[in-house]
Protein backbone atom coordinates (compact mmCIF):
# COMPACT_ATOMS: atom_id res chain seq x y z
CA UNK A 1 0.00 0.00 0.00
CA UNK A 2 1.37 3.39 -1.03
CA UNK A 3 0.36 6.11 1.46
CA UNK A 4 1.02 9.68 0.38
CA UNK A 5 1.17 11.69 3.61
CA UNK A 6 3.09 14.81 4.62
CA UNK A 7 2.75 15.55 8.33
CA UNK A 8 3.89 18.80 9.90
CA UNK A 9 7.03 17.97 11.86
CA UNK A 10 5.71 19.54 15.08
CA UNK A 11 2.97 16.91 15.26
CA UNK A 12 4.92 13.77 14.34
CA UNK A 13 5.83 12.94 18.00
CA UNK A 14 2.09 12.97 18.80
CA UNK A 15 1.08 10.22 16.38
CA UNK A 16 1.30 7.52 19.04
CA UNK A 17 0.59 9.15 22.40
CA UNK A 18 -1.50 7.04 24.79
CA UNK A 19 -2.85 9.44 27.45
CA UNK A 20 -6.62 9.17 28.01
CA UNK A 21 -7.10 12.90 27.30
CA UNK A 22 -5.09 14.58 24.53
CA UNK A 23 -5.51 18.29 23.86
CA UNK A 24 -4.35 20.17 20.78
CA UNK A 25 -5.01 23.90 21.10
CA UNK A 26 -3.62 27.17 19.86
CA UNK A 27 -4.00 29.69 17.10
CA UNK A 28 -5.83 29.62 13.79
CA UNK A 29 -4.25 27.85 10.82
CA UNK A 30 -1.89 25.88 13.05
CA UNK A 31 -2.76 22.61 11.31
CA UNK A 32 -3.97 20.86 14.49
CA UNK A 33 -7.30 19.61 13.11
CA UNK A 34 -5.67 18.63 9.82
CA UNK A 35 -3.09 16.55 11.70
CA UNK A 36 -5.76 14.86 13.81
CA UNK A 37 -7.68 13.91 10.65
CA UNK A 38 -4.49 12.42 9.23
CA UNK A 39 -4.02 10.42 12.43
CA UNK A 40 -7.65 9.23 12.36
CA UNK A 41 -7.27 7.87 8.81
CA UNK A 42 -3.93 6.18 9.56
CA UNK A 43 -5.34 4.65 12.75
CA UNK A 44 -8.39 3.29 10.94
CA UNK A 45 -6.15 1.62 8.35
CA UNK A 46 -4.31 -0.01 11.27
CA UNK A 47 -7.48 -1.32 12.92
CA UNK A 48 -8.83 1.46 15.18
CA UNK A 49 -12.45 2.66 15.43
CA UNK A 50 -12.94 6.42 15.78
CA UNK A 51 -15.93 8.66 16.51
CA UNK A 52 -15.74 12.35 15.53
CA UNK A 53 -17.97 14.89 17.31
CA UNK A 54 -19.03 18.49 17.35
CA UNK A 55 -21.52 20.11 19.65
CA UNK A 56 -24.20 20.47 16.96
CA UNK A 57 -24.79 17.70 14.42
CA UNK A 58 -25.46 19.93 11.41
CA UNK A 59 -22.01 21.56 11.72
CA UNK A 60 -20.30 18.20 11.16
CA UNK A 61 -20.64 17.77 7.40
CA UNK A 62 -19.00 21.06 6.43
CA UNK A 63 -16.19 20.70 8.95
CA UNK A 64 -14.53 17.56 10.30
CA UNK A 65 -16.41 15.09 8.04
CA UNK A 66 -15.34 16.91 4.87
CA UNK A 67 -11.80 17.20 6.21
CA UNK A 68 -11.52 13.47 6.91
CA UNK A 69 -12.87 12.63 3.43
CA UNK A 70 -10.49 15.13 1.86
CA UNK A 71 -7.60 13.64 3.83
CA UNK A 72 -8.41 10.12 2.58
CA UNK A 73 -8.23 11.33 -1.02
CA UNK A 74 -5.07 13.38 -0.45
CA UNK A 75 -3.39 10.30 1.00
CA UNK A 76 -4.40 8.28 -2.06
CA UNK A 77 -6.40 5.86 0.10
CA UNK A 78 -9.88 6.30 -1.36
CA UNK A 79 -9.84 2.77 -2.83
CA UNK A 80 -9.45 1.36 0.68
CA UNK A 81 -12.46 3.12 2.19
CA UNK A 82 -16.22 2.99 1.67
CA UNK A 83 -17.60 6.49 2.24
CA UNK A 84 -21.32 6.64 3.05
CA UNK A 85 -22.12 10.31 2.50
CA UNK A 86 -25.75 10.20 3.64
CA UNK A 87 -25.02 8.56 7.03
CA UNK A 88 -21.53 10.06 7.37
CA UNK A 89 -19.97 6.66 8.08
CA UNK A 90 -16.56 5.76 6.68
CA UNK A 91 -15.54 2.10 6.65
CA UNK A 92 -12.07 0.72 5.99
CA UNK A 93 -12.39 -2.10 3.45
CA UNK A 94 -9.19 -3.77 4.70
CA UNK A 95 -10.37 -4.48 8.24
CA UNK A 96 -13.97 -3.31 8.71
CA UNK A 97 -13.01 -0.57 11.17
CA UNK A 98 -15.01 2.65 10.99
CA UNK A 99 -14.91 6.41 11.42
CA UNK A 100 -18.26 7.59 12.75
CA UNK A 101 -19.58 11.15 12.98
CA UNK A 102 -22.14 12.60 15.36
CA UNK A 103 -23.34 15.76 17.05
CA UNK A 104 -23.65 16.14 20.79
CA UNK A 105 -27.01 17.93 20.63
CA UNK A 106 -28.46 15.02 22.61
CA UNK A 107 -25.63 13.31 24.46
CA UNK A 108 -27.90 10.40 25.40
CA UNK A 109 -28.10 9.38 21.73
CA UNK A 110 -24.32 8.96 21.65
CA UNK A 111 -24.73 5.94 23.93
CA UNK A 112 -26.31 3.97 21.08
CA UNK A 113 -23.56 4.71 18.53
CA UNK A 114 -21.26 1.75 18.01
CA UNK A 115 -18.97 0.57 15.21
CA UNK A 116 -19.96 -2.45 13.11
CA UNK A 117 -16.88 -4.35 14.26
CA UNK A 118 -15.15 -4.27 17.64
CA UNK A 119 -15.56 -1.41 20.12
CA UNK A 120 -15.21 2.35 19.98
CA UNK A 121 -11.62 3.14 20.91
CA UNK A 122 -10.99 6.82 20.20
CA UNK A 123 -13.04 10.00 20.08
CA UNK A 124 -12.21 13.32 18.43
CA UNK A 125 -14.03 16.45 19.61
CA UNK A 126 -13.59 19.27 17.11
CA UNK A 127 -14.12 22.84 18.43
CA UNK A 128 -14.19 21.37 21.93
CA UNK A 129 -14.84 24.74 23.60
CA UNK A 130 -18.38 24.47 22.17
CA UNK A 131 -19.31 21.49 24.34
CA UNK A 132 -20.32 21.35 27.99
CA UNK A 133 -18.35 19.46 30.63
CA UNK A 134 -21.25 17.01 31.07
CA UNK A 135 -20.93 16.05 27.40
CA UNK A 136 -17.22 15.37 27.86
CA UNK A 137 -17.98 13.14 30.85
CA UNK A 138 -20.54 11.19 28.81
CA UNK A 139 -17.97 10.67 26.07
CA UNK A 140 -15.45 9.20 28.50
CA UNK A 141 -18.02 6.52 29.36
CA UNK A 142 -18.26 5.49 25.69
CA UNK A 143 -14.70 4.16 25.69
CA UNK A 144 -15.33 0.73 27.15
CA UNK A 145 -14.91 -2.88 26.13
CA UNK A 146 -11.95 -5.12 25.35
CA UNK A 147 -9.47 -3.82 22.79
CA UNK A 148 -5.78 -4.18 22.02
CA UNK A 149 -5.61 -0.45 21.21
CA UNK A 150 -5.21 2.45 23.62
CA UNK A 151 -8.46 4.33 24.24
CA UNK A 152 -8.58 8.10 24.53
CA UNK A 153 -10.34 11.35 23.73
CA UNK A 154 -8.69 14.00 21.54
CA UNK A 155 -9.87 17.62 21.71
CA UNK A 156 -8.94 20.49 19.38
CA UNK A 157 -9.84 24.17 19.76
CA UNK A 158 -8.80 27.80 19.79
CA UNK A 159 -8.37 28.72 23.46
CA UNK A 160 -11.06 31.46 23.80
CA UNK A 161 -11.49 32.38 27.51
CA UNK A 162 -9.81 31.31 30.76
CA UNK A 163 -13.22 31.05 32.38
CA UNK A 164 -13.96 27.96 30.25
CA UNK A 165 -14.36 24.58 31.96
CA UNK A 166 -11.59 23.05 29.81
CA UNK A 167 -9.07 25.54 31.19
CA UNK A 168 -10.22 24.96 34.76
CA UNK A 169 -10.20 21.17 34.44
CA UNK A 170 -7.03 20.50 32.44
CA UNK A 171 -4.72 23.52 32.63
CA UNK A 172 -3.93 23.61 36.36
CA UNK A 173 -0.29 22.67 35.78
CA UNK A 174 0.06 24.42 32.43
CA UNK A 175 2.93 26.92 32.09
CA UNK A 176 2.30 29.76 29.64
CA UNK A 177 5.96 29.96 28.64
CA UNK A 178 5.92 26.38 27.35
CA UNK A 179 4.26 24.71 24.38
CA UNK A 180 3.50 21.30 25.85
CA UNK A 181 2.61 19.38 28.97
CA UNK A 182 2.39 15.66 29.73
CA UNK A 183 1.63 13.40 32.64
CA UNK A 184 0.28 9.84 32.86
CA UNK A 185 -3.29 10.80 31.95
CA UNK A 186 -3.00 14.09 30.07
CA UNK A 187 -1.15 15.35 27.01
CA UNK A 188 -1.37 18.99 25.82
CA UNK A 189 0.24 20.59 22.75
CA UNK A 190 -0.03 24.26 21.87
CA UNK A 191 0.66 25.29 18.27
CA UNK A 192 0.34 28.39 16.12
CA UNK A 193 0.51 29.21 12.43
CA UNK A 194 4.33 29.09 12.77
CA UNK A 195 4.04 25.32 13.24
CA UNK A 196 2.19 24.85 9.96
CA UNK A 197 4.64 24.29 7.11
CA UNK A 198 1.81 24.28 4.56
CA UNK A 199 0.58 27.86 4.94
CA UNK A 200 0.86 30.42 2.18
CA UNK A 201 2.55 33.78 2.71
CA UNK A 202 -0.88 35.44 2.49
CA UNK A 203 -2.18 33.23 5.32
CA UNK A 204 0.77 34.18 7.51
CA UNK A 205 0.49 37.87 6.67
CA UNK A 206 -3.16 37.99 7.74
CA UNK A 207 -2.41 36.45 11.14
CA UNK A 208 0.74 38.48 11.75
CA UNK A 209 -1.04 41.75 11.01
CA UNK A 210 -4.18 41.24 13.10
CA UNK A 211 -4.89 44.60 14.75
CA UNK A 212 -7.42 43.59 17.41
CA UNK A 213 -5.54 42.70 20.65
CA UNK A 214 -7.92 39.91 21.68
CA UNK A 215 -7.98 38.21 18.28
CA UNK A 216 -4.21 38.58 17.92
CA UNK A 217 -3.65 37.03 21.33
CA UNK A 218 -6.04 34.12 20.77
CA UNK A 219 -6.03 33.42 17.03
CA UNK A 220 -2.51 34.48 16.07
CA UNK A 221 -0.55 33.63 19.24
CA UNK A 222 -2.81 30.83 20.47
CA UNK A 223 -3.05 32.11 24.04
CA UNK A 224 -5.99 31.83 26.41
CA UNK A 225 -7.81 35.14 26.27
CA UNK A 226 -9.71 37.43 28.57
CA UNK A 227 -12.46 39.73 27.31
CA UNK A 228 -13.40 42.81 29.31
CA UNK A 229 -15.43 44.77 26.76
CA UNK A 230 -18.09 42.30 25.61
CA UNK A 231 -20.86 44.00 23.62
CA UNK A 232 -23.80 41.65 24.22
CA UNK A 233 -24.67 40.21 27.62
CA UNK A 234 -28.41 40.03 26.95
CA UNK A 235 -28.52 36.50 25.52
CA UNK A 236 -29.05 32.89 26.50
CA UNK A 237 -29.27 29.49 24.80
CA UNK A 238 -32.44 27.37 24.84
CA UNK A 239 -33.83 24.43 22.89
CA UNK A 240 -36.49 26.12 20.76
CA UNK A 241 -37.58 23.00 18.84
CA UNK A 242 -41.10 23.00 20.25
CA UNK A 243 -41.56 26.75 19.76
CA UNK A 244 -40.32 27.06 16.17
CA UNK A 245 -43.55 25.85 14.48
CA UNK A 246 -45.43 28.73 16.15
CA UNK A 247 -43.03 31.46 15.03
CA UNK A 248 -44.78 33.81 12.62
CA UNK A 249 -42.98 37.16 12.83
CA UNK A 250 -40.01 36.08 10.73
CA UNK A 251 -37.04 38.19 9.64
CA UNK A 252 -34.06 36.99 7.61
CA UNK A 253 -30.56 38.33 6.99
CA UNK A 254 -27.49 37.44 4.96
CA UNK A 255 -23.83 38.46 5.08
CA UNK A 256 -21.76 37.44 2.06
CA UNK A 257 -18.46 35.63 2.31
CA UNK A 258 -15.31 36.72 0.56
CA UNK A 259 -12.29 34.42 -0.02
CA UNK A 260 -12.03 32.44 3.25
CA UNK A 261 -14.88 34.25 5.02
CA UNK A 262 -18.17 32.35 5.27
CA UNK A 263 -21.55 33.18 3.86
CA UNK A 264 -23.72 33.73 6.94
CA UNK A 265 -27.50 33.30 6.78
CA UNK A 266 -29.81 33.83 9.75
CA UNK A 267 -33.51 33.40 10.44
CA UNK A 268 -35.21 34.90 13.48
CA UNK A 269 -38.59 35.41 15.12
CA UNK A 270 -39.26 38.65 16.98
CA UNK A 271 -41.68 39.06 19.86
CA UNK A 272 -42.12 42.84 19.94
CA UNK A 273 -44.33 42.82 23.01
CA UNK A 274 -41.86 40.88 25.15
CA UNK A 275 -38.87 42.47 23.35
CA UNK A 276 -37.31 39.12 22.53
CA UNK A 277 -35.39 37.97 19.48
CA UNK A 278 -35.38 34.22 18.83
CA UNK A 279 -32.44 33.11 16.67
CA UNK A 280 -33.63 29.72 15.44
CA UNK A 281 -31.87 28.93 12.17
CA UNK A 282 -28.46 29.66 10.65
CA UNK A 283 -26.19 28.69 7.78
CA UNK A 284 -22.46 29.31 7.95
CA UNK A 285 -20.19 28.13 5.15
CA UNK A 286 -17.17 29.42 3.24
CA UNK A 287 -16.39 28.67 -0.38
CA UNK A 288 -19.96 28.50 -1.65
CA UNK A 289 -20.76 29.02 -5.32
CA UNK A 290 -23.60 31.37 -6.27
CA UNK A 291 -25.73 28.38 -7.24
CA UNK A 292 -25.14 26.73 -3.85
CA UNK A 293 -26.11 30.00 -2.16
CA UNK A 294 -29.33 30.10 -4.18
CA UNK A 295 -30.20 26.54 -3.20
CA UNK A 296 -29.54 27.08 0.52
CA UNK A 297 -31.39 30.42 0.50
CA UNK A 298 -34.49 28.87 -1.06
CA UNK A 299 -34.46 25.97 1.42
CA UNK A 300 -33.95 28.24 4.42
CA UNK A 301 -36.01 31.33 3.58
CA UNK A 302 -38.66 30.13 1.13
CA UNK A 303 -40.60 33.21 -0.04
CA UNK A 304 -39.58 35.36 2.94
CA UNK A 305 -37.61 38.52 2.22
CA UNK A 306 -33.95 38.42 3.20
CA UNK A 307 -31.98 41.61 3.80
CA UNK A 308 -28.43 41.25 2.48
CA UNK A 309 -25.12 43.06 2.75
CA UNK A 310 -25.43 45.85 0.16
CA UNK A 311 -21.67 45.76 -0.49
CA UNK A 312 -22.23 42.94 -3.01
CA UNK A 313 -25.03 44.05 -5.39
CA UNK A 314 -24.08 41.48 -8.04
CA UNK A 315 -24.79 38.58 -5.71
CA UNK A 316 -28.07 40.17 -4.60
CA UNK A 317 -29.08 40.54 -8.25
CA UNK A 318 -28.15 36.90 -8.92
CA UNK A 319 -30.23 35.71 -5.97
CA UNK A 320 -33.20 37.85 -7.06
CA UNK A 321 -32.89 36.58 -10.65
CA UNK A 322 -33.24 33.04 -9.29
CA UNK A 323 -36.39 33.79 -7.26
CA UNK A 324 -34.82 34.50 -3.87
CA UNK A 325 -36.46 37.58 -2.34
CA UNK A 326 -33.14 39.26 -1.64
CA UNK A 327 -33.02 43.00 -0.91
CA UNK A 328 -30.03 45.20 -0.03
CA UNK A 329 -29.49 46.61 3.44
CA UNK A 330 -29.65 50.40 3.65
CA UNK A 331 -26.84 50.72 6.19
CA UNK A 332 -25.95 54.43 6.35
CA UNK A 333 -23.86 56.44 8.77
CA UNK A 334 -23.29 54.79 12.16
CA UNK A 335 -25.39 51.78 11.09
CA UNK A 336 -23.26 49.30 13.05
CA UNK A 337 -23.48 51.13 16.37
CA UNK A 338 -27.12 51.98 15.75
CA UNK A 339 -27.87 48.32 15.15
CA UNK A 340 -25.93 47.27 18.24
CA UNK A 341 -27.83 49.72 20.45
CA UNK A 342 -31.14 48.46 19.08
CA UNK A 343 -30.21 44.81 19.63
CA UNK A 344 -29.07 45.57 23.17
CA UNK A 345 -32.65 46.59 23.93
CA UNK A 346 -33.90 43.04 23.31
CA UNK A 347 -33.34 39.70 25.00
CA UNK A 348 -31.68 37.40 22.45
CA UNK A 349 -32.62 33.72 22.77
CA UNK A 350 -30.47 31.35 20.72
CA UNK A 351 -31.58 27.91 19.58
CA UNK A 352 -29.21 25.15 20.71
CA UNK A 353 -28.51 24.26 17.07
CA UNK A 354 -27.26 27.78 16.20
CA UNK A 355 -23.74 27.09 17.43
CA UNK A 356 -21.95 29.50 15.11
CA UNK A 357 -24.09 32.43 16.23
CA UNK A 358 -23.40 31.56 19.87
CA UNK A 359 -19.66 31.41 19.12
CA UNK A 360 -19.78 34.90 17.64
CA UNK A 361 -21.95 36.66 20.20
CA UNK A 362 -19.98 35.46 23.22
CA UNK A 363 -16.79 37.00 21.78
CA UNK A 364 -18.16 40.10 20.06
CA UNK A 365 -16.43 43.05 21.71
CA UNK A 366 -15.46 46.69 21.45
CA UNK A 367 -12.05 47.55 20.13
CA UNK A 368 -9.57 48.94 22.66
CA UNK A 369 -7.20 51.90 22.52
CA UNK A 370 -3.55 51.53 23.47
CA UNK A 371 -4.47 51.98 27.14
CA UNK A 372 -7.01 49.15 27.10
CA UNK A 373 -10.04 51.44 27.12
CA UNK A 374 -13.09 50.47 25.08
CA UNK A 375 -13.63 52.45 21.90
CA UNK A 376 -17.01 53.09 20.28
CA UNK A 377 -16.14 50.69 17.49
CA UNK A 378 -16.88 46.96 17.36
CA UNK A 379 -14.15 44.49 16.42
CA UNK A 380 -14.64 43.65 12.75
CA UNK A 381 -13.89 39.92 12.89
CA UNK A 382 -15.86 36.73 13.55
CA UNK A 383 -19.04 38.78 13.26
CA UNK A 384 -20.66 37.44 10.08
CA UNK A 385 -23.87 36.20 11.69
CA UNK A 386 -23.97 39.27 13.94
CA UNK A 387 -23.93 41.41 10.79
CA UNK A 388 -26.64 39.22 9.25
CA UNK A 389 -28.76 39.77 12.37
CA UNK A 390 -28.34 43.55 12.05
CA UNK A 391 -29.46 43.39 8.42
CA UNK A 392 -32.43 41.18 9.33
CA UNK A 393 -33.65 43.69 11.92
CA UNK A 394 -32.84 46.82 9.91
CA UNK A 395 -36.48 47.44 8.99
CA UNK A 396 -37.46 47.47 12.67
CA UNK A 397 -34.52 49.71 13.53
CA UNK A 398 -35.72 52.17 10.89
CA UNK A 399 -39.24 52.13 12.31
CA UNK A 400 -37.91 53.13 15.72
CA UNK A 401 -35.84 55.90 14.15
CA UNK A 402 -38.85 57.25 12.21
CA UNK A 403 -41.09 57.17 15.28
CA UNK A 404 -38.47 59.01 17.31
CA UNK A 405 -38.19 61.68 14.60
CA UNK A 406 -41.99 62.19 14.59
CA UNK A 407 -41.97 62.83 18.34
CA UNK A 408 -39.51 65.72 17.92
The pLDDT, as a whole number, for residue 260 is 78
pLDDT over threshold 80, residue 288: yes
Helix H segments across 11-58? 32-45
pLDDT over threshold 70, residue 400: no
Domain stops at, among 213, 243, 265? 213
Strands 81-84 and 89-92: antiparallel
196 and 317 in a single domain? The answer is no
The pLDDT, as a whole number, for residue 370 is 79
204 and 266 in a single domain? The answer is no
Residue 6 in any domain: the answer is: no
Mean pLDDT of 33-61: 95
Summarised one tens digit per residue, pLDDT across range 307-323 is 999 999 999 999 999 99
246 and 376 in a single domain? The answer is yes
CATH of the domain at 129: 3.40.50.300
102 and 144 in a single domain? The answer is yes
Number of domains in the chain: 2
Summarised one tens digit per residue, pLDDT across range 223-259 is 998 777 899 999 999 999 999 999 999 999 999 997 7
283 and 208 in a single domain? The answer is no
Residue 223 in any domain: the answer is: no
The pLDDT, as a whole number, for residue 107 is 74
Mean pLDDT of 51-76: 94
287 and 381 in a single domain? The answer is yes
Domain stops at, among 179, 213, 247? 213
187 and 249 in a single domain? The answer is no
Residue 270 in any domain: the answer is: yes
Residue 155 in any domain: the answer is: yes
Domain stops at, among 213, 247, 274? 213
Residue 58 in any domain: the answer is: yes
Summarised one tens digit per residue, pLDDT across range 148-172 is 999 999 999 999 888 899 999 999 9
135 and 253 in a single domain? The answer is no
The pLDDT, as a whole number, for residue 371 is 75
Summarised one tens digit per residue, pLDDT across range 197-225 is 999 999 999 999 998 888 999 999 999 98
282 and 340 in a single domain? The answer is yes
Burial class (CB in 10 A: 0-12, 13-18, 19+), 21: middle
193 and 257 in a single domain? The answer is no
| H helix and E strand count, the chain | 13, 18
The pLDDT, as a whole number, for residue 261 is 87
Query: How would DSSP label each residue in 84-136?
Result: ETTTTEEEETTT--EEEEEE-SSHHHHTT---SSS---EEEEETGGGS-HHHH
CATH of the domain at 292: 3.30.420.280
Residue 1 in any domain: the answer is: no
127 and 252 in a single domain? The answer is no
Write out the residue range of the structural domain in which residue 315 sits. 235-402
Strand 306-308: give its sheet, edge to edge. Answer: 235-238, 347-351, 276-286, 262-271, 250-255, 306-308, 326-328
The pLDDT, as a whole number, for residue 214 is 87
> How big is the CA angle at 80 (ends 77 and 84), to the nearest 5 degrees?
100
pTM: predicted TM-score of the whole model, two decimal places: 0.83
Q: Quote the mean pLDDT of the chain.
A: 93
Mean pLDDT of 349-366: 95
Residue 219 in any domain: the answer is: no
249 and 207 in a single domain? The answer is no
| Distance linking the first and last C-alpha atoms of the chain | 79
In whole angstroms, what is the distance from residue 230 CA to residue 32 CA?
A: 28
Summarised one tens digit per residue, pLDDT across range 83-115 is 999 999 999 999 999 999 999 987 777 888 899
pLDDT confidence bin for 401, thresholds 50/70/90: low
Non-local CB neighbours of 385 within 8 Å, separated by 6+ positions: 255, 264, 266, 282, 284, 356, 357, 360
The pLDDT, as a whole number, for residue 213 is 86
Burial class (CB in 10 A: 0-12, 13-18, 19+), 63: middle
Mean pLDDT of 182-205: 95
Mean pLDDT of 275-283: 98
Residue 2 in any domain: the answer is: no
Burial class (CB in 10 A: 0-12, 13-18, 19+), 58: middle
Amino acid sequence: MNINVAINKTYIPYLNKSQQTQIFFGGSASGKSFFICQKIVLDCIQGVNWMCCRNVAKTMRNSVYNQVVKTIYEMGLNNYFKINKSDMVITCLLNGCQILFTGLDDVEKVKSITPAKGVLERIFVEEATEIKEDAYMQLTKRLRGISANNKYIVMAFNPILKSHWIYKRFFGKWEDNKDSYEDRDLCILKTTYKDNDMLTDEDKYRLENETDPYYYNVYSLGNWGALGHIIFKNWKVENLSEMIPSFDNIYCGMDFGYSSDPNALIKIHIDKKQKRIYVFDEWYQAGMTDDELVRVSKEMFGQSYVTCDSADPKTIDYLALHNVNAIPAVKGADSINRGIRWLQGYEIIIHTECQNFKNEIEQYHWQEDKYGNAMAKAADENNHLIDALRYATEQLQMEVKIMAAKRL
